[in-house]
Structure 1
Amino acid sequence: MYSLLVLLSTTLVLTHSQNCGYNSCPQWDPNALNVHLVPHSHDDLGWLKTVDKYYFQDVQNVIGSVIGALKQNPDRKFIQVETAFFKKWWDHQNDLVKRDVIKLVNNGQLEISNGGWSMNDEATVNYQSTIDQYTLGLRYLEDTLGPCARPKSAWAIDTFGHSREQASIVAQLGFDSTFFMRLDYRDREKRLKEKTADLLWQGSQNLNNSNIFTSVFYRGTYSYPDGFCFDIVCNDEPIIDDANSPDYNYEEKVDDFADFVRGQADKYPTNNIFVAMGDDVRYQAAWTNFLNIDRLIKGFELFPRNYTNKPIKLLYSSPACYTKAVNDYVTANNYKLEVKTDDFLPYATDGYGYWSGFYVSRPATKRFERIGNNFLQIAKQIAAVSNQPYENKITPLKEAMGVIQHHDAITGTEKQDVLKDYHRMLYSAIEEANELVDPLLSTIISGTDDHFQFKTCLMSNISSCSPSRSNKFTVAVYNPLSRVVSSPIEIPVSAKAWSIVDPDGNEVANQVESTIIDFSYVNNVPTSPYTCYFIAKDLPPLGYKIFTFTKVESRRSELTFGNSNTSFEIDEDSGLIKSITMNGVTMDVSQDLYYYKSGSYSGAYIFVPLVNEKFRVAEGKVKTTPISGSVYQGVVQEFAPWAKQIVKVYHGDDSHIEIEWIVGPIDLVSENVGKEVVSVFTTSLKTEGNFYTDSNGREMLKRTRNYRPTFDYTNEEPIAGNYHPITSRIVLKDEEKALELAVLNDRAQGGTSLKDGQVEIMIQRNCPHNDFGRVGDSINDQEYGQGVITRGRHYIVLGPTSGNGVKSLAAIQRDVAQRKLLPPWAFVTNQEVSQRLKNTQFSSLKVPLSENVQILTLEPWNNSTILLRLEHILERNEDENLSQEVTVDLSDLFTTFTITKLVEMTLGGNIPLEESVRLKWPGLENVQSKKLDGFKVTLAPMQIRTFVATVVY
């Protein structure tokens, strides 16, 4: 458990907690223009420098300098944002400094905003990882600084556009507001003109408690107003208040600042405005910053300046205090702010500056993050059911995953050496967590303290897994979902023929194929030439099954050609998919690979094609090689030496068709022109310009080509301007025929529908330019002495909207999405274990949960407690039966422990729900969850409920 408080600090937390929060806000004047000055420093968890270099060169100076400056004047305020950096700083401080910090937190001078481990991206992250990184940060703050460190505002000033699900999450964390600067330039202009830059944002179309006050920055920057940066790295003139000095400029500075705030005040709806006083790693010399701001505030008292006959009053403030002031104003005047129901994506700085390239940049990182999340959930589950305390070997993985969510990490917008450091950090953390999982899993399996040395084959994407190179090995396949699943499993192997035996001693059908490409180019890593496929059937919820592999001399393949319910047809002339049959419907569907040529404007952040035209990867007919076996049937397609696919239908799985693609190294079109590769699906569906994308893996948003719901869209860039983030799926619907096609993915990507009935998803980018120097590196990464090769999967679901007669197509898509987000994990060992297998299969649940409910989180918390989250995975009206309220009885659900007490918490797990009171806004009402009925938890569609559960093992 994170708990670093000394006894004296604990006393301070308990004594002074009533002085923090809104109680510590400055008094604003209803008869004045109140200017809320917010000192801050934006500290990236990696970007141009690694995390450690930013900390040791810059951030430690910021925090240390700020603490000293705050102590000098009780009116001063500062907001601390990135918890990862704060922990790193805190760990180096003595008890006296810690005592000072807690006192500053308790009196509201040092206010925590956001509070997550990082300031996460909002376009390319999955909701589970976002919730986890907030949970990690908020818990550390609670344990270290006490209740006064609970944030009331989100602070997303540097993320590249803003998702609706993020708004929903921060509202469920108990926050009252969110602040940011990056939105479409046309949207900003309209909001400032109409005074709607302060608004209420409805983060969910399903939940009644998802509204959050949102404030959009006046300018497209989070920096000080021009001329008012006073840090040692700035060149602005200081405020010189000595009237005898020849450089005296006091009144001039007051006039300049008054002119600035008058311009801003014209654009906002109340007599309160918000001015950010900071920038990247500022306040390294906090004393000079605060001294000048002190003088500025005093200057408006000495030399009064007015705005529309009202005095201008400057205040040290914070995002939370500004929110409270606006709330007081609108409540007193019954003023109803505008309500927004869509998102702020994509972000554009001008007609050609669409920040939609980062949806795809560094796709290997985006996939690695999903793998890290998958393993983290499994590690936490196994630790929880094994009665392990808050385990230090899992903590580094939580922290690494928190860092990867940072808006310059998962986005791919960092320098290449920083990218490698992120990968190093995550890989090491997974390996360390495996050191915990191996003995726990081994103990469950053997009933003894034996260690089977189970390995996680993190390099199986390049066909490398050391234990499976043996002639005999054992695989424990763990299912992290709360229901029974059957899943294809792939293991790199060194031989063509294998016998696989399941826990009941039954022979398991398997299929061995040559790897999609020859991976022997990978230096100093042993790779296998084959992949063995089998179906792990009926894996128990939150549990495992054991499979034993033995090499055999030869095996006759059972040639089967498909699945009567799900199939596809290849066009003999083109080698492309021609049609797909699924859920009782045969639909004409073609799929091909294309690329855009990218010029000097495309880079890590921005996507702008050189010309508005796609070019085929294949120069003619695609070479095809049929595959048929006892696990799947399909076809290998070769579009070019650097672009291949395998289209697969797994026997016994009617839910989807899988396309496994591998792209790279991408050759450049010419010396200064890159390639941005897209997978294009073409159908005859009549979609009328509409398509649907997910928001961070949860709710779906309707998109319309060349249209935005809240401002007039201009079509200077018809391709990039229509790209949206896809973290889970993109869907086409033919309303007249009641047919749908969905493409689901295994990582965050970008996509669109540029023509009716057509979907395209970008899968890889090679851009030799660098967005005009924003990050300084191109997207032309090298690995093993050549351009990067990227491997991934798409999953196709189609059919009538009504589905397959059992559940709707939307419900089928939700099921597939969950199974691909948290697939079963193969733990592999080549140790001799056959004589030590006591429990060859195991489940943490006595009964599976219904398919519309998932245990989102199960992890050790404090002594004898666990953190437990339940989620309803469907939206309202997605399925006639499954989109209903559902009740889960927790009283006798788990096999290794019994829950004796439940305390419902806010989403972050840091505040008891009964203690969380959010601000009320005119015209809106927050509806609370249904109360518990003993240990019975009722979930409405899309609802997540969080509990700290006391348990007995």
Structure 2
Amino acid sequence: MAAMSLQLTVVSLFLLGGVLTFPLGQEAEHTSTCGYESCHPTKPDMLNVHLVPHTHDDVGWLKTVDQYFYGDRNDIQHAGVQYILDSVVDQLLKNPDRRFIYVETAFFYRWWRQQSSSMQQTVKQLVNEGRLEFVNGGWCMSDEATTHYSAVIDQMTMGLRFLNETFGPCGRPRVAWHIDPFGHAREHASMFAQMGYDGFFFGRLDYQDRARRMMYREQELLWRASDSLTPPMADLFTGILPNGYNPPEGFCWDQSCDDAPIRDDPDLEDYNVDDVVKRFLAIAEGQSAVYKTNHIIMTMGSDFQYENANLWYKNLDKLIHYVNAQQANGIKVNVLYSTPSCYLQELHRTNLTWALKNDDFFPYADDAHDFWTGYFTSRPALKRYERISNSNLQMCNQLEVLGGPVSRRGPFGVGDSKTMKEAMAVAQHHDAVSGTEKQHVANDYARRLANGWQHCQVLVSNSLAGLSGSTAERIYCDNLNISVCPLTESSKKFSVNVYNPLARPVTWPVRLPVNGTAYVVSDANGKSVDSQVVPVSPATREVRRSRGFAVNELVFQVQAPPLGYTTYSVSLLQNGPPPASTQHHTPTAIKNKFLQVTFDPDTGLLSSLSNLETKQTIKLTQNFYWYNASDGNNVESIQPSGAYIFRPNSSTPFVISKTAKTESIQTPAVQEVRQWFSPWVSQVVRLYADSRALELEWTVGPVPIDDDLGKEVITRLDTSIQTAQYFYTDSNGREVLQRKTDFRPTWNLKQSEPIAGNYYPINSRAFIKDDDDQLTVVTDRSQGGGSINNGSLEIMLHRRLLYDDVRGVAEPLNETSGIFPKGLVVRGRLLLSLDRPASAADAHRPLAQEVVLQPLLTFTGGDLHPNTRLEFSGLQAALPPAVHLLTLSQWDKDSVLLRLEHQFQSWESKVNSQPVTVNLQKLFTTLDVLGVSELNLSANQWKDEMKRFSWTPESEEQPLLKTFEDPSTWEVTLRPMEIRTFLLKVGLR
């Protein structure tokens, strides 16, 4: 591939032998000595102590993003990021030996825009000399349990692109840095490896795991983060920091610290240099005893530190001077200013072998009864809103490309995707979608997402107007899950535009709130579509309160083309049949041509699930329970449940009700059994005519607290499947990992919390299986869950807690709102599929993608113009089932960013776990692809220029990376779990 060097400064794009070539970043100064070249020399015969000055700046937590940047609301927490960057730059200029690393591009980007051109030049010089170094470099430091991989890739791309375009190669981070997330996902390590990082450092891991690793000097390891990608594609050197991300005890010199400064005037009676040196040498010696080389790292900083950087640097200068002076006395310790990449380079130079890890770092516990597994579910409404927002952003990106320039400036005004990109990027922060922030900060995240979607709605409307030829006003109904849409409730005639963001056709059920009793629904060809009117359930009327007044719902199935839209017309029939009636007895079964579900007539609960195609039947009982949350008053521990920590008071949950009051609706379009378990828990068991999945739509809340007990609400599926303690969860929505109750692959677990210690993050799906049957549950947001008993799978749906868990947020997780002052009500869906294990992935992989990227409905009142284009696809043909179009977004005026993904693991499917070839020139209907260049996953390096350190695992030969040649520039082959990223030069057709 003839990709240009990053050093070139050509601004225009041009073709060279069919390959797109253009710069990814600005030209680096010829005086650059950044990166590994800027590292201070070390001494091979000594213990080298790498001091890393840093600040950890949460992109929202106790204060909002804006409050943290400006230093507002210091009554909550004294923190002002703008002052940190001001102060650090000033201090770096005073001593060329000093170093500093910065992480969160969201803050740096804002600070950078406020600087004068002369200050920007000064900062560029610091970056070019390696004195200011960026690590991680994403918009934020993302959570690893509750984030979806597509949103993580987006926010990393956004941050790294800014650094690339601002600083060139010297702005590119070499090291991933996740010092604060609460457990670590294998998929994150895989993504970081594919983004070109040489190593990964973090601060938190299970206390038992750390103890074992310290004993065997395995706190630095090689993480093999994929079982499908050929090593070393997803191999990542991983280091566990010695003090989390704090300085050693007694060596904190920030204005927020209480440690004594170095007092080095020997004429004063409080002279303490000898004591400081003695304590530091003892700490260094102790740390070196649990690491493998003669290099150790010390993080010198913490939360929002360096607002007065002079305090830190003045003392660090002295520390380095006085400790190193002891070398003249035979002390073999060398202290230096360093960065994580400089430390990593020294580890690489040792040419040692490293322990190999194949699993992940979940769940995380910092003590015997302190498992950080509650945040897998905390703030379930925000988690769902973030997931919907991700889907909306992908559609916004796609339609910006497919619609061309008119999408940004069109009949509905000026639209943009940037606002939504920034809001979604911020939402990936480890105190955002995780649910571990204060309530006012959670509100701010939601407000940002809502604002971003408003900007995208203008863009989407412009794009659809351009593609369809209709400038009629488009209405967005964001509350369809509770049957609220003023247009459909009041209109006798309207049209529904269904945009499908997936690269394959989709059949999707639509439910619209209406007040009529019968409607005619026609597709884009004028053909009548089967539809049914059913009454709105009492549970829905209760949860929507006064926000809508529809008495019925219109139900029909839509079929949308790949990466495109179709249009359905809906007209009220004045003298049509009445809506379907509800029956107040529990049916023995509901079924379609694929599935049958039976119910126990005495309890109203599910009793079995059958796949009629494969002739499988399992016993299946499902019910709702709650764990009594610990209030910190136990014999074993004073740890309460909170936003982070899940700690039930008992291993046996309380059943909410042993029976369900039911009513049922059976129509050709949909069959429903509506279940009430209590005034605050209800569910609809729903089976659509053409669906291979059973839908469980649950509604939970307000969770009662009149008994002064916090509650952790779960649903549990008990089956006849023989699981032998094994179950499976996804990692960030991508690869699947095997779990086993009361077991860790890395160490001999001493289980102290039999429930919380067996909970894992479920991002999009989990399943249990034996030789014959596999039951897969697809979730509509990130949730926590586990398989506590054989044949059982439980998922936590909602949490309402009365005590803070003493992890810093200083607020109980007790959510209310203006609409729900007595406690938040949350609604969601679980989709169940029953398959043979050998073919289950062929069903649940696409099903999970449909839930993550569900169609967007927009509405137009009255009749459409007769020349309106009612159907459109952005693809010339649907992509093969194994291929997912992960990213399609505008990069600049003439180019787009495209990511294609093989969405199956190598072992999952006989049919779909095979390589697939796609021709890039034959992809799109509205775009001519004129040139192509391949990038790494984060789009900040050319793929063929991405060079990473190679590492050798212990007791295993290093496999060679399999390479292949594409048949032509345009044809690209994807192997299992491979994501390939391209920049395409395009022209509109």
Normalised by the size of structure 1, how large is the TM-score? 0.94
1:867 has 2:936 as partner: no
Determine the structure 2 residue equivalent to 1:938.
Answer: 973
Q: Work out which of the residue numbers 262, 282, 290 in structure 2 matches 1:259.
A: 282
Matches within 5 A, 1:697-776: 697-735=733-771, 738-772=772-806, 774-776=808-810
Q: Work out which of the residue numbers 184, 198, 220 in structure 1 matches 2:206.
A: 184
Displacement of 1:914? 1.6
1:173 has 2:195 as partner: yes
Displacement of 1:739? 1.5
Displacement of 1:462? 3.1
1:215 has 2:239 as partner: yes
Alpha carbons of structure 1 residues 419 and 326: separation in structure 2 relative to 1, 3 Å: same
Distance 1:578 1:305 in 2: 79
> What percentage of aligned pairs have identical amino acids?
40
Deviations 1:78-124 (A, max 9, x none): 11101101111111111111111111111111111111111000001
Contact 2:897–2:982 (CA under 8 A) maintained in structure 1: yes
Determine the structure 2 residue equivalent to 1:566.
Answer: 595
Displacement of 1:928? 6.0
Matches within 5 A, 1:314-325: 314-325=335-346
Distance 1:523 1:11 in 2: 52
Contact 1:576–1:590 (CA under 8 A) maintained in structure 2: yes
Contact 1:389–1:862 (CA under 8 A) maintained in structure 2: no
Determine the structure 1 residue equivalent to 2:476.
Answer: 456
1:381 has 2:398 as partner: yes
Instruction: State the secondary structure of the residue aligned to 1:303.
Output: helix
Contact 1:518–1:529 (CA under 8 A) maintained in structure 2: no
Displacement of 1:545? 0.3
Displacement of 1:750? 0.6
Displacement of 1:648? 1.1
Distance 1:354 1:305 in 2: 48
Distance 1:521 1:542 in 2: 33
Determine the structure 2 residue equivalent to 1:27.
Answer: 41
Distance 2:674 2:650 in 1: 31
1:349 has 2:366 as partner: yes
Distance 1:457 1:712 in 2: 52
Determine the structure 2 residue equivalent to 1:40.
Answer: 54
Q: Work out which of the residue numbers 119, 124, 127 in structure 1 matches 2:141.
A: 119
Deviations 1:837-877 (A, max 9, x none): 42100000011111110110000102211000000010012
Instruction: State the secondary structure of the residue aligned to 1:861.
Output: strand
Q: CA RMSD in A?
A: 2.1
Determine the structure 2 residue equivalent to 1:665.
Answer: 702
Displacement of 1:196? 0.3
Contact 2:407–2:462 (CA under 8 A) maintained in structure 1: no
Displacement of 1:364? 0.4
Displacement of 1:733? 1.3
Contact 2:580–2:665 (CA under 8 A) maintained in structure 1: no
Contact 2:407–2:463 (CA under 8 A) maintained in structure 1: no
Instruction: State the secondary structure of the residue aligned to 1:431.
Output: helix
One-letter amino acid of the counterpart of residue 364, structure 2: Y
Displacement of 1:504? 0.6
Q: Work out which of the residue numbers 62, 85, 102 in structure 2 matches 1:80.
A: 102
Matches within 5 A, 1:46-61: 46-57=60-71, 58-61=80-83
Determine the structure 2 residue equivalent to 1:229.
Answer: 252
Q: Work out which of the residue numbers 820, 829, 836 in structure 2 matches 1:800.
A: 836
Contact 1:463–1:529 (CA under 8 A) maintained in structure 2: no
Instruction: State the secondary structure of the residue aligned to 1:279.
Output: coil
Distance 2:969 2:402 in 1: 22
Distance 2:807 2:178 in 1: 23
Determine the structure 1 residue equivalent to 2:635.
Answer: none
Comparing 140-149 with 431-440, greater Cα deviation is found at 140-149
Determine the structure 2 residue equivalent to 1:91.
Answer: 113
Determine the structure 1 residue equivalent to 2:650.
Answer: 611
Comparing 765-774 with 113-122, greater Cα deviation is found at 765-774
Instruction: State the secondary structure of the residue aligned to 2:711.
Output: strand
Contact 1:12–1:102 (CA under 8 A) maintained in structure 2: no
Determine the structure 2 residue equivalent to 1:435.
Answer: 458
Matches within 5 A, 1:488-499: 488-499=509-520
Instruction: State the secondary structure of the residue aligned to 1:787.
Output: coil
Alpha carbons of structure 1 residues 246 and 647: separation in structure 2 relative to 1, 3 Å: same
Alpha carbons of structure 1 residues 276 and 527: separation in structure 2 relative to 1, 3 Å: farther
Deviations 1:481-515 (A, max 9, x none): 11111111222334333222110111222223333
1:578 has 2:607 as partner: yes
Distance 2:35 2:394 in 1: 33
Distance 1:638 1:707 in 2: 37
Displacement of 1:473? 2.0
Instruction: State the secondary structure of the residue aligned to 1:835.
Output: coil
Displacement of 1:252? 1.6
Distance 1:855 1:214 in 2: 30
Contact 1:891–1:935 (CA under 8 A) maintained in structure 2: yes
Determine the structure 2 residue equivalent to 1:358.
Answer: 375
Instruction: State the secondary structure of the residue aligned to 1:386.
Output: helix
Contact 1:156–1:180 (CA under 8 A) maintained in structure 2: yes
Contact 1:876–1:883 (CA under 8 A) maintained in structure 2: yes
Alpha carbons of structure 1 residues 470 and 136: separation in structure 2 relative to 1, 3 Å: same
One-letter amino acid of the counterpart of residue 40, structure 1: H
Determine the structure 2 residue equivalent to 1:884.
Answer: 914
Alpha carbons of structure 1 residues 357 and 12: separation in structure 2 relative to 1, 3 Å: closer
Q: Work out which of the residue numbers 272, 279, 282 in structure 1 matches 2:302.
A: 279
Comparing 723-732 with 457-466, greater Cα deviation is found at 457-466
Alpha carbons of structure 1 residues 404 and 496: separation in structure 2 relative to 1, 3 Å: farther
Determine the structure 2 residue equivalent to 1:243.
Answer: 266
Deviations 1:556-598 (A, max 9, x none): 5689963132120011011000111114212111111111111
Contact 1:891–1:898 (CA under 8 A) maintained in structure 2: yes
Instruction: State the secondary structure of the residue aligned to 1:899.
Output: strand
Contact 1:358–1:411 (CA under 8 A) maintained in structure 2: yes
One-letter amino acid of the counterpart of residue 867, structure 1: L
Displacement of 1:638? 0.7
Normalised by the size of structure 2, how large is the TM-score? 0.91
Mark the runs of 5 or more structure 2 residues left unpaired by the alignment. 1-8, 12-23, 72-79, 409-414, 582-588, 632-639
Deviations 1:259-316 (A, max 9, x none): 111110000011111100000000001122111111111112223399xx86111111
One-letter amino acid of the counterpart of residue 362, structure 2: L
One-letter amino acid of the counterpart of residue 812, structure 2: S
Distance 1:722 1:301 in 2: 48
Distance 1:143 1:877 in 2: 40
Displacement of 1:887? 0.4
Contact 2:661–2:675 (CA under 8 A) maintained in structure 1: yes
Contact 2:151–2:390 (CA under 8 A) maintained in structure 1: yes
Distance 2:651 2:456 in 1: 47
One-letter amino acid of the counterpart of residue 334, structure 2: K
Mark the runs of 5 or more structure 1 residues left unpaired by the alignment. 803-807
Matches within 5 A, 1:454-603: 454-471=474-491, 472-516=493-537, 517-519=539-541, 525-537=547-559, 539-553=560-574, 554-556=576-578, 562-582=591-611, 583-600=614-631, 601-603=640-642
Distance 1:390 1:948 in 2: 20
Determine the structure 1 residue equivalent to 2:716.
Answer: 680
Instruction: State the secondary structure of the residue aligned to 1:201.
Output: strand
One-letter amino acid of the counterpart of residue 674, structure 1: G
Comparing 95-104 with 525-534, greater Cα deviation is found at 525-534
Comparing 938-947 with 241-250, greater Cα deviation is found at 241-250
Displacement of 1:835? 1.7
Contact 1:128–1:856 (CA under 8 A) maintained in structure 2: yes
Displacement of 1:938? 0.3
